[in-house]
């Protein structure tokens, strides 16, 4: 059998190696336009930052062997044609026309099975100056090397990153953290990581950027022009003009499907190559996977474009099996991801609140702050989790979180992501079995507590407001009808009581029953503690006394601080 693979970055090499392991007699040929193949593209921002010292490290195996043409030929018996472009697919004759990018010569490669691992291309904003020197998209190692050289030589000191998604945030960290550059971030939407996390979580990420010195984060701004004398000197948005000597466009990617479309293969409405669950295209002898296809989202049951190096590798293994007669199927994705933003991790699985609301379902979210391990164990740190669920059927739709302990957060998000394909309800997460020992978790893990809180909200026992609503009340017209009842100890509450006399009242939760006569009966009570747990207990106590005009602040003072609300 003769298998040709177009694309040799992630999916292509995985499929090639799988094929050769299953049947060493199969001839496998990979072709790629680039001179560098089989590299970890997701590591590019960390090469720019200096966390990864050499570009070649992105191309090595765990045994420090460089995955180049020689490696694939000698170690894998796979032929790799670099700097070779696939220009046409002749499905009738089962050949691929290729052209050398070095000398322009063309030839035909016959195939029995063809794999399209064409990946994606970065989007570029079509504005004046977008073709200037020092405007990059960070699409490959070559771009990364050029950016790093510019910075190292002192030729870039005021970078502007366009796009507040994952790549944009990683590039901001690369510029501002280790290089210490005066970095600006511009996002056209009203929040960072739009469509991935909630506005609440996004505000916490934005506040963290400010704490790390990245204060120039501009939301809801359109970049209209990049200017300068032949190279970048400034960037103009619809609201301001910014000094800049380097621009990175991180505004998403598009599936590379043009070659497939020219060959008459079916394309989705989103512009990706259409495949079945076995990754066959509309031609059963041609397979496709990775960034050039769409997947089914297992929460919404709708098509979703989810470019990911990890996903491409999983696709590649299945495709490698199926081209040799296998019948493995890929059900879809739940959109699990994790991102490092300075020393904070941001992770999610499933869908966020806005995505859930767009489905037309009656949904709500629950927010919990709790330690990532037993409160008495040294090194305990707070974790912030938000769950999105359906009010009607209690289906869990997604969970997002932030934490400075990325491994701990990853463990929780991965656990929930693993069960989301089974369509869990809140009670399933409440009773989810997780490994317990004080160095790793609390006896009632934050994941279980998150679901328990959701159940209490649905039952009407925990009546809540979030930090954004709290911020609106404080200093707003509703303030005159409210009292902020702080149920923490006097030492914690005193600075707030002193700052807001007559508005902020302190009665510790364990003294509330004995001091009920001090509770205002003609005001709306906003109940506050450090995390929202003691204030929930206070709400139950007040309900027993027929005082129902209470709202519990989700996440308490910890959430206020993480959100960046300045109240002292």
CA 542 centroid distance within chain = 40
Residue pair 13/316 in contact (Cβ under 8 Å)? The answer is yes
Output phi, psi for 565, to 5 deg.
Answer: -75, 125
Give the Cα separation of 228 and 244 in Å (integer).
Answer: 9
Residue pair 550/525 in contact (Cβ under 8 Å)? The answer is yes
- Pull the structure tokens for residue 204: 């916490």
Catalytic residues: 42
Outline where 323-465 has alpha helix (H): 353-358, 406-419, 426-430, 446-458
DSSP β-bridge partners for residue 550: 525
- Pull the structure tokens for residue 205: 């990420």
- Measured between alpha carbons, how far is residue 74 from residues 68, 69, 109, 506 in Å? 10, 9, 21, 73
Q: In sequence order, what E strands does 454-493 have? A: 464-465, 482-486
Read out DSSP for 159-224? EEEE--SHHHHHHHHIIIIIS----EEEESSSSSSTTTS-HHHHHHHHHHHHHTT---EEES--EE
Instruction: Report the candidate in 553, 548, 555, 537 with the shortest Cα–Cα distance to residue 504.
Output: 553
Residue pair 564/204 in contact (Cβ under 8 Å)? The answer is yes
- Pull the structure tokens for residue 495: 């600075």
Element (H, E) at 115: strand 113-116
């Amino acid at each position: 059998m003769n298998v040709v693979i177009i694309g040799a970055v992630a999916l292509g090499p995985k499929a090639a190696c799988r094929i050769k392991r299953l049947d060493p007699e199969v001839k496998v040929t990979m072709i790629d336009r680039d001179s560098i193949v089989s590299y970890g593209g997701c590591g590019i921002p960390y090469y720019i930052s200096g966390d990864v010292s050499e570009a070649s490290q992105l191309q090595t195996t765990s045994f420090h062997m460089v995955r180049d043409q020689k490696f694939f030929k000698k170690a894998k018996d796979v032929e790799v044609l670099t700097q070779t472009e696939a220009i046409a697919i002749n499905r009738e004759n089962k050949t691929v026309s290729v052209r050398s990018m070095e000398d322009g010569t063309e030839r035909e490669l016959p195939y029995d099975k063809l794999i399209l691992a064409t990946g994606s291309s970065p989007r570029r904003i079509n504005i004046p100056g977008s073709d200037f020197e020092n405007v990059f998209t960070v699409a490959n190692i070559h771009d990364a090397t050029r950016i790093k050289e510019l910075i190292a030589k002192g030729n870039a000191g005021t970078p502007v990153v366009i796009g507040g998604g994952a790549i944009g945030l990683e590039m901001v960290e690369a510029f501002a953290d280790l290089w210490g550059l005066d970095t600006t971030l511009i996002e056209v939407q009203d929040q960072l990581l739009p469509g991935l996390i909630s506005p609440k979580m996004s505000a916490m990420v934005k506040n963290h950027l400010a704490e790390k010195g990245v204060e120039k984060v501009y939301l809801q701004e359109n970049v209209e022009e990049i200017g300068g004398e032949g190279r970048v000197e400034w960037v103009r948005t619809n609201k301001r003009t910014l000094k800049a000597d380097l621009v990175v466009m991180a505004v998403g990617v598009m599936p590379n499907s043009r070659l497939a479309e020219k060959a008459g293969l079916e394309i989705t409405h989103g512009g990706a190559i259409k495949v079945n669950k076995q990754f066959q295209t509309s031609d059963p002898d041609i397979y496709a996977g990775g960034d050039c296809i769409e997947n089914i989202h297992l929460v919404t049951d709708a098509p979703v474009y989810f470019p990911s190096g990890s996903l491409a590798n999983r696709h590649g293994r299945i495709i490698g099996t199926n081209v040799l007669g296998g019948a493995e199927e890929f059900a879809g994705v739940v959109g699990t991801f994790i991102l490092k933003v300075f020393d904070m991790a941001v992770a999610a699985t499933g869908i966020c609140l806005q995505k859930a609301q767009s489905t037309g379902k009656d949904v709500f979210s629950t927010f919990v702050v709790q330690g990532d391990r037993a409160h008495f164990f040294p090194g305990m740190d707070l974790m912030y989790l938000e769950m999105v669920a359906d009010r009607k059927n209690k289906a869990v739709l997604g969970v997002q979180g932030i934490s400075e302990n990325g491994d701990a957060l990853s463990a929780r998000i991965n656990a929930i992501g693993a069960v989301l394909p089974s369509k869990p309800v809140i009670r399933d997460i409440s009773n989810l079995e997780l490994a317990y020992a004080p160095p790793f978790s609390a006896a009632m893990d934050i994941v279980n507590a998150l679901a328990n809180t959701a159940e209490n909200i649905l039952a009407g026992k925990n009546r809540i407001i979030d930090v954004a609503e709290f911020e609106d009340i404080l200093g707003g017209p509703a303030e005159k009808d409210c009292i902020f009842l702080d149920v923490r100890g006097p030492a914690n509450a005193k600075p707030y009581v002193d700052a807001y006399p007559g508005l902020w009242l302190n009665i510790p939760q364990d003294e509330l029953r004995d001091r009920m006569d001090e509770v205002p009966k003609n005001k709306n009570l906003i109940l506050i503690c450090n995390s929202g747990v003691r204030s929930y207990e206070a709400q139950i106590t007040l309900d027993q006394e027929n005082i129902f005009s209470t709202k519990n602040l989700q996440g308490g003072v910890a959430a206020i601080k993480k959100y960046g609300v300045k109240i002292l």
